[in-house]
């Protein structure tokens, strides 16, 4: 099979493989795109739920840390609430979210006395109702519990949120039996008011919670923007950043709960990829509805896990005791409070119900569009890789074609030279024949020279004829004639033809030709030429040992065995790398470093190809410094 035909088959098979690879890649990228979309969406949903649970937990922790405690009297109030504030700060890491702790004391003479807790001095100081606290003052005056009113554990755990004042409040009670109207329940003595720091919540607390749960690599690579919305208006925008970077600063837009900047028209037109309520709504009892509660906020779950920060450092606790407690003890106190005193409840005092939610959307485009864009990019990269592979194959094919063309040009040149040598050789053979017939006399020397010239002229003529056939040597339909032969006879004839050359070079020739070998199907002239080429090559490269051996034998191989013709020499030998290249066209062995050894570098190549045409093979075994063995393998009886 010609080189070009082999190259065409190889290129066709490779192109088919590339088409198949492209199809598989197209399907695989589509599957990866769908999987990526599901992974990102699931991760986003899970992260948003974690954010919501963290917000609910922190709010529950705040309401629980400042729970109603009937055992706290007036004298110990400041110390107890200092402990409560520190406990909230230690567990939430957001202590400054509580701006002021205020006590509305109904037992004072005017019934409207307001004091504040000074955390630094751990003392209670007089305070005034500023303009920001006006909604709270109106509520406690018009709808709050009256002095001495006995309230149940559920009522003690009820908090109300005043959005316009950014404050939460609950009733304060006393265990003093003399002040109880209902002896079974502690009586109301006033109201506890926690005024929240909106700037801190907006600039630190919310961003930190979002960063903790949304700042992961998976979500950051997805280029999502998470927003806190109130009644579909954006209050806060957050985009995940590297955790190693500085904490995010205050947002550009909005105040939580009491300011609602307009949403961009493009953002309003595109719905979020996912949205969940920040706090789940709960039913508003009729009594709270009459007190002005527009909606209830569920801030706890009975089966929710309490994520406590535990360590061996002592922290102030929630109990009325002045002794500090560990975080583990604090967790037990909170658990006990939940089981005995009831869970904290929060109601929003407002004119209407509101929806506070977390929304997430892909920056710039929707999730589906982003995944499709990623899919298109991967497909484009894949197609580019396939195009580069195709281009590389085309370059290989072009290079191979040029190499084949150069080889054909060389072979054509050899063939042309062979044709040009035929006429001079024919004349030389005629003259040699005349010398043998006595044209120059009958002296022994003249006749011997004539025979030698005729013998070598015939041999050279055979070489020229073989070189002329080299351009078609890869074709099985060559001009050679195959017949059943005795390889020992062919080998003997080849040795006898070259014996003058061998002996004239000072070589010792050994011959071990086996008798009775199976016949082989071969071209006698071509086989003799191959053996002669191997013997000539042994003489040219075997100078160090000046010894050559020709042998024939039978060896098992395949089903019917094979017959071998072996040529040994004691030349310099070859390395494994050199032996692997010895049959390449125009390769000259390592012994020809001076360029003085005659030959074109085609002898072994032509010999191998001729043996292959006879369904055989030509091999070499060589060892550096010990010589080489060339073997012709022909199938027996083929």
Residue 168 sits at the vertex; the CA angle it makes with 72 and 209, to the nearest 5 degrees, is 110
Q: Which residue has the tokens 């000539």?
A: 536
DSSP state of 368: H
Lowest mean pLDDT among 43-57, 301-315, 412-426: 301-315
Helix, strand or coil, per DSSP, at residue 70 = coil
Nearest alpha carbon to residue 164 among 188, 141, 198, 187: 198
Under 8 Å between Cβ of 306 and 335: yes
Phi, psi angle pair for 189, to nearest 5°? -120, -10
Question: Can you say whether the dihedral through the CA atoms of 238, 243, 244, 250 is positive or negative?
Answer: positive
Q: CA 612 to CA 615: how far, in whole Å?
A: 5
Residues 6+ apart with CB under 8 A from 82: 117, 119, 122, 316
pLDDT for 309 beyond 50? no
**pLDDT recorded at residue 46:** 84
Of residues 543 and 181, more confidence is placed in 543
DSSP state of 472: G
Under 8 Å between Cβ of 631 and 621: yes
DSSP state of 201: I
Under 8 Å between Cβ of 103 and 124: yes
Of residues 359 and 402, more confidence is placed in 359
At 91-113, the pLDDT tens digits run: 888 999 999 999 998 887 665 68
pLDDT for 242 beyond 60? no
pLDDT for 262 beyond 60? no
At 230-241, the pLDDT tens digits run: 888 887 787 765
pLDDT for 518 beyond 80? yes
pLDDT for 266 beyond 50? no
pLDDT for 193 beyond 80? yes
| Average pLDDT of span 338-356 | 77
Q: Which helix (H) or strand (E) holds 186?
A: none
**pLDDT recorded at residue 198:** 87
**pLDDT recorded at residue 303:** 37
The residues spanned by each domain of the chain are 66-196+301-342, 203-276, 480-635
Most confident of the following: 31-40, 119-128, 145-154: 119-128
Of residues 422 and 346, more confidence is placed in 346
Give the Å distances, CA to CA, from 619 to 541, 556, 559: 17, 16, 20
**pLDDT recorded at residue 599:** 56
Question: Can you say whether the dihedral through the CA atoms of 79, 80, 81, 85 is positive or negative?
Answer: positive
Q: CA 69 to CA 72: how far, in whole Å?
A: 6
Six-digit token string for 519: 């016949």
Quick one: CA torsion of 136, 139, 142, 147, rounded to 10 degrees?
A: -70
521 alpha-carbon distance from chain centroid: 59
Of residues 288 and 216, more confidence is placed in 288
DSSP conformation letters of 120-184: TTTEEEE----GGGHHHHHHHHHTSPPTT-B--HHHHTEEEEETTTTEEEEEEEE--GGG-SSTT
Under 8 Å between Cβ of 24 and 182: no
Nearest alpha carbon to residue 462 among 564, 606, 567, 601: 606
Question: Can you say whether the dihedral through the CA atoms of 167, 327, 305, 338 is positive or negative?
Answer: negative
Lowest mean pLDDT among 71-80, 260-269, 360-369, 401-410: 260-269
Of residues 321 and 440, more confidence is placed in 440
Query: Would you place residue 461 in the very low, low, confident or very high pLDDT band (cuts 50, 70, 90)?
Result: confident
Q: CA 300 to CA 384: how far, in whole Å?
A: 55
pLDDT for 337 beyond 80? no
Quick one: CA torsion of 253, 255, 259, 262, rounded to 10 degrees?
A: 20
Of residues 50 and 427, more confidence is placed in 50
Nearest alpha carbon to residue 320 among 74, 499, 47: 74
Q: CA 456 to CA 439: how far, in whole Å?
A: 19
**pLDDT recorded at residue 321:** 37
Six-digit token string for 260: 């609602």
Strands 508-513 and 547-555: parallel
With a pLDDT cut of 70, the percent of the chain lying above it is: 70
Lowest mean pLDDT among 285-294, 400-409, 508-517: 400-409
**pLDDT recorded at residue 590:** 62
Q: CA 316 to CA 84: how far, in whole Å?
A: 7
**pLDDT recorded at residue 613:** 87
Under 8 Å between Cβ of 309 and 90: yes
Q: Which residue has the tokens 């939430």?
A: 92
**pLDDT recorded at residue 587:** 76
Facing residues of 356 across strands? Answer: 230
Q: CA 499 to CA 456: how far, in whole Å?
A: 12
**pLDDT recorded at residue 183:** 62
Helix, strand or coil, per DSSP, at residue 98 = strand
Q: CA 358 to CA 400: how far, in whole Å?
A: 64
Quick one: CA torsion of 64, 69, 74, 75, rounded to 10 degrees?
A: -90
With a pLDDT cut of 90, the percent of the chain lying above it is: 18
DSSP conformation letters of 206-233: HHHHHHHHH-SHHHHHTTEEEEEEETTE
Most confident of the following: 60-64, 150-154, 488-492, 611-615: 488-492
Under 8 Å between Cβ of 569 and 542: yes
**CATH T-level topology, domain 480-635:** Heat Shock Protein 90 (3.30.565)
Chain mean pLDDT for the chain: 76
At 536-573, the pLDDT tens digits run: 888 888 777 789 999 999 988 767 789 999 999 988 88
**pLDDT recorded at residue 28:** 61
553 alpha-carbon distance from chain centroid: 59
**pLDDT recorded at residue 235:** 75
Six-digit token string for 92: 């939430």
**pLDDT recorded at residue 5:** 63
At 34-83, the pLDDT tens digits run: 666 677 777 778 888 888 888 888 888 898 888 876 656 666 788 889 98
The percent helix, strand, coil of the chain (3-state, each to 5) is: 45, 20, 35
């Amino acid at each position: 099979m010609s080189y070009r035909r082999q190259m065409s088959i190889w290129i066709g098979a490779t192109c088919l493989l590339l088409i198949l690879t492209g199809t598989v890649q197209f399907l695989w990228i589509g599957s990866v795109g769908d999987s990526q979309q599901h992974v990102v969406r699931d991760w986003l949903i899970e992260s948003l739920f974690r954010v919501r649970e963290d917000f609910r937990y922190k709010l529950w922790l705040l309401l629980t840390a400042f729970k109603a405690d009937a055992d706290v009297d007036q004298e110990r109030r400041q110390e107890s609430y200092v402990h409560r504030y520190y406990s909230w700060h230690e567990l939430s890491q957001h202590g400054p979210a509580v701006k002021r702790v205020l006590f509305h004391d109904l037992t004072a003479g005017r019934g409207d006395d307001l004091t504040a807790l000074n955390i630094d001095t751990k003392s209670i100081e007089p305070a005034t109702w500023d303009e920001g606290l006006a909604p709270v003052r109106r509520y406690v005056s018009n709808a709050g519990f009256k002095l001495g009113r006995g309230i149940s554990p559920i009522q003690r755990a009820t908090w109300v949120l005043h959005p316009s004042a950014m404050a939460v409040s609950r009733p304060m009670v006393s265990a003093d039996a003399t002040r109880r109207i209902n002896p079974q329940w502690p009586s109301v003595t006033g109201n506890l008011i926690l005024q929240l720091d909106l700037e801190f919540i907006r600039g630190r607390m919310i961003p930190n919670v979002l960063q903790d749960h949304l700042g992961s690599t998976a979500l950051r690579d997805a280029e999502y923007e998470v927003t806190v919305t109130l009644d579909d208006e954006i209050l806060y925008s957050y985009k995940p950043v590297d955790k190693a970077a500085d904490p995010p600063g205050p947002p550009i837009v909005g105040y939580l709960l009491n300011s609602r900047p307009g949403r961009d028209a493009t953002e309003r037109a595109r719905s979020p990829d996912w949205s969940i309520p920040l706090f789940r709504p709960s039913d508003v009892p009729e009594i709270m509805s009459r007190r002005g509660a527009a909606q209830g906020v569920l801030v706890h779950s009975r089966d929710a896990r309490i994520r406590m920060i535990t360590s061996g450092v002592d922290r102030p606790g929630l109990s009325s005791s002045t002794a500090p407690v560990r975080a583990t003890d604090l967790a037990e106190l909170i658990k006990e409070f939940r089981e005995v005193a009831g869970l904290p409840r929060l109601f929003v005092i407002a004119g209407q119900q509101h929806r506070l939610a977390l929304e997430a959307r892909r920056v710039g485009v929707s999730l589906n569009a982003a995944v499709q864009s990623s899919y298109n990019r991967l497909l484009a990269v894949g197609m580019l890789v396939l195009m580069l592979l195709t281009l590389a194959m085309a370059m290989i094919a072009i290079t191979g074609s040029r190499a084949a063309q150069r080889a054909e040009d060389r072979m054509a040149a050899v063939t042309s030279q062979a044709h040009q040598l035929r006429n001079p050789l024919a004349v030389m053979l005629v003259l040699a024949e005349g010398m043998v017939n006595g044209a120059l006399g009958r002296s022994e020397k003249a006749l011997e020279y004539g025979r030698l010239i005729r013998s070598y002229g015939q041999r050279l003529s055979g070489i020229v004829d073989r070189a002329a056939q080299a351009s078609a040597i890869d074709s099985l339909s060559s001009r050679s004639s195959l017949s059943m032969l005795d390889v020992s006879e062919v080998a003997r004839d080849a040795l006898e033809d070259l014996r003058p050359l061998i002996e004239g070079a000072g070589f010792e020739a050994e011959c071990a030709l086996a008798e009775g070998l199976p016949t082989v199907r071969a071209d006698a002239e071509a086989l003799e030429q191959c053996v002669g080429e191997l013997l000539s090559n042994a003489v040219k490269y075997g100078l160090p040992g000046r010894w050559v051996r020709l042998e024939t034998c039978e060896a098992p191989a395949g089903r019917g065995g094979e017959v071998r013709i072996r040529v040994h020499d004691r030349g310099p030998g070859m390395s494994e790398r050199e032996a692997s290249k010895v049959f390449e066209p125009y390769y000259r062995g390592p012994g020809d470093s001076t360029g003085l050894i005659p030959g074109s570098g085609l002898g072994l190549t032509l010999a191998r190809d001729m043996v292959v045409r006879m369904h055989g093979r030509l091999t070499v075994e060589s060892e550096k410094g010990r010589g080489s063995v060339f073997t012709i393998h022909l199938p027996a009886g083929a």
